[in-house]
Amino acid sequence: MICILISGCASLFSDKPFQSSNIELRAPNLMAAYNKPYTIFGVTYYPLKSAKGYREIGYASWYGSEFGNRTSMGTRFIPERVTAAHKTLPLPSRVRVTNLQNGLQVDVIVNDRGPFKKGRVIDLSRGAAKKIGLSGVMKVKIEHLND
């Protein structure tokens, strides 16, 4: 289970805004294991029941080398897609991430848990990070997109 929780972020979702006829953003299943409390490195996290109105400013990093790993939702990680990992947002959630250094924005699907490094609030896939010019660790604003 821990392996699934700390794997790279990814999704079956396209980086094109939900145009694929066989893939759609669905409402979070709050009964799913990936939306239940979990413990990593001795810290217990409690996923939110709703992301409505969620906003946060903090530090983001990115994933890219975990190609093929499973996300918390069970999907395969594909680094070039626009996905993310967050510790407590319900899975899946759709959020806008803004790089506060340059103002660039990307809309991503949060489909994984993490990051579990101190001081980081979100991990972006390499594809998402590239769209907003994120390299290393940078300060971002995260806003839930009402679906």
Q: What is the pLDDT of residues 19-31, one digit of tens each?
A: 322 234 677 888 8
Q: What is the pLDDT of residues 67-119, one digit of tens each?
A: 568 899 988 888 889 999 999 999 999 999 999 999 999 999 999 999 999 99
Element spanning 126, H or E: helix 126-131
Query: 92-117 burial by CB neighbour count: b if 16+ within 10 A, else e?
Result: bbbbebbbeeeeeebbbbbbbbbbee
List of domains in the chain: 2-16+27-144 (2.40.40.10)
